Amino acid sequence: MNGMERTLVFLKPDCIRRALVGDILGRFEKRGFSIVGLKMVELSEKFVREHYAAHEGKHFYEPLVAYTTSSPVIAMVLEGKNAVRVVREMMGETFGSESSPGTIRGDYALSDRYNLIHGSDSPEAASEEIGRFFNDEELFEVQPETVSWIYDMTGEEPV
């Protein structure tokens, strides 16, 4: 849909184990995002190492791999205006202890390691990550009548 952006989000093992999935999904839906892909998956160590390859060699890399592979995750593709930026703002800072109240991590996380959620950090990364987690048959289009209740669609771009 014109003017819309997609981003990848996955809810990490601590989110699932703490039964926060519904609360966090609800935040995205209430904000107006459309969920165009959703699944629960167990990520292999190889997959996680490739996904977080930019952090290889950093002190937190091995614990991050172990944490992310310890339990299934829930992967989703969200669609909306400025999805990457808005989702990252909703998530809060990387470390729960540094996140402001009102953000997902600010409301639900204190740990600097168990931080509940991953979100793409750029439109380019979102495109790559969506392709890594989902195939085309697992992604769906948003119905225009739904979008018209979230945005003013009278022009060329959603407002």
Model pLDDT for residues 102-119, shown as the tens digit of each residue: 999 999 999 999 999 999
Tell me how far apart the terminal alpha carbons of the chain are, to the nearest angstrom. Answer: 13
Average pLDDT, the chain: 95
- pLDDT at 2 > cutoff 70: no
Question: For the chain, what are the domain ranges?
Answer: 5-81+120-140
Cβ atoms within 10 A of the Cβ of 159, count?
A: 10
Choose, from 51, 55, 59, 118, the residue flagged as catalytic.
Answer: 118
User: What is the mean predicted confidence (pLDDT) over 26-41?
Assistant: 97
Does the pTM of the predicted model rise above 0.85?
A: yes
Model pLDDT for residues 69-93, shown as the tens digit of each residue: 999 999 999 999 999 999 999 999 9
User: Catalytic residue at 118?
Assistant: yes
- pLDDT at 144 > cutoff 80: no
Spatial CA neighbour of 74 closest among 18, 110, 25: 25
Torsion of CA 45, 77, 20, 98, to 10 degrees: 80
CATH 3.30.70.141 assigned to domain 5-81+120-140? The reply is yes
Pairing of strands 73-80, 117-119: unpaired
